[in-house]
Amino acid sequence: MWQGGPLAIYLLRRLGLAVITLFLLSLIIFFAGQVLPGDPARSILGPLAAESAVRALDHQLGVDQPLVTQYWSWISGMARGNMGESYQYQSPVEPLLVTALVNSAKLAALALIVIIPLGILGGVVAALHAGRPTDRIITLTGSSAATVPEFVSGIVVIVIFSVALKLLPPSAQAQPGDSFLTQLRSLILPAIPLVLVLFGYIARMARAGTIEALESDYVRTATLKGLKRVVVIYRHVLRNSLLPTITVIATQTGYLIGGLVVVERLFNYQGIGNLIYHAANAKDFPMLEAAVLTIGVVYMVATVGADLFTTMLNPRQRTGAFR
Partner 1 sequence: MSETLAVPPAIVAAEPVRREQPVWRLLLNRPTFVTGALILLFWIVCAIFGNDIAPHSPLAQQLLATNQSPSAAHWFGTDQLGRDVLSRVIVGAQTMLVIAPLATAVGAVLGTALGLVLGYLGGVVDLVVSRIVEAVLALPAILVIFLFVVALGVSTLTQILVIGFIFTPLIARTVRSAVQVESQLDYLPAARLLGERSIRMMFVEILPNVMPTVLVEFTIRLGYAIFAVATLAFLGFGVQLSTPNWGTDINANYVVLGAGYWWETLFPALAIASLIIAINLVADAIEQVLAG
Instruction: Kindly state whether residue 54 participates in binding partner 1, applying the rule CB under 8 A.
Output: no
Q: Candidates 261, 275, 287, 290: give the one binding partner 1 (CB under 8 A).
A: 261
Task: Give me the least distance between CB of 147 and partner 1, in Å please.
Answer: 5
Nearer to partner 1, 29 or 187 (CB): 29
Name residues contacting partner 1, limited to 121-150 (CB under 8 A). 140, 143-144, 147-150
Distance of alpha carbon 115 from alpha carbon 198, whole angstroms: 7
Instruction: Kindly state whether residue 114 participates in binding partner 1, applying the rule CB under 8 A.
Output: no
Measured in residues, the chain has a length of 323
> What percentage of the chain's residues is helix, strand, coil (to nearest 5)?
75, 0, 20
Residue type, 136: R
Instruction: Kindly state whether residue 6 participates in binding partner 1, applying the rule CB under 8 A.
Output: no
Nearer to partner 1, 33 or 122 (CB): 33
Instruction: Kindly state whether residue 309 participates in binding partner 1, applying the rule CB under 8 A.
Output: no
What one-character-per-residue DSSP string does 277-288 give?
HHHHHTT-HHHH
Instruction: Kindly state whether residue 265 participates in binding partner 1, applying the rule CB under 8 A.
Output: yes
Binding mask 57-96 for partner 1 (x = CB under 8 A): ----------------------------------------
Q: Site for partner 1 (CB under 8 A): how many residues?
A: 57
Instruction: Kindly state whether residue 259 participates in binding partner 1, applying the rule CB under 8 A.
Output: yes
| Residue 269 main-chain phi, psi, to 5 deg | -110, 130
What one-character-per-residue DSSP string does 245-296 give?
HHHHHHHHHHHHHHHHHHHHHHTT--SHHHHHHHHHHTT-HHHHHHHHHHHH
Distance of alpha carbon 248 from alpha carbon 146, whole angstroms: 14
Instruction: Kindly state whether residue 287 participates in binding partner 1, applying the rule CB under 8 A.
Output: no
Instruction: Select the span of 113-121, 219-227, 232-240, 290-298 touching partner 1 (CB under 8 A).
Output: 290-298
Distance of alpha carbon 95 from alpha carbon 212, whole angstroms: 47
Interior/surface letters 42-58, b for 16+ CB within 10 angstroms, e for the rest: bebbeeeeeeeebeebb
Interior/surface letters 108-120, b for 16+ CB within 10 angstroms, e for the rest: bebbbebbbeebb
Q: Which residues bind partner 1 (CB under 8 A)?
A: 17, 20-22, 24-25, 28-29, 32-33, 36-37, 140, 143-144, 147-153, 155-156, 158-159, 162-164, 170-171, 208, 244, 247, 251, 254-255, 257-259, 261-262, 265-266, 276-277, 280-281, 283, 288, 292, 295-296, 299-300, 303, 307
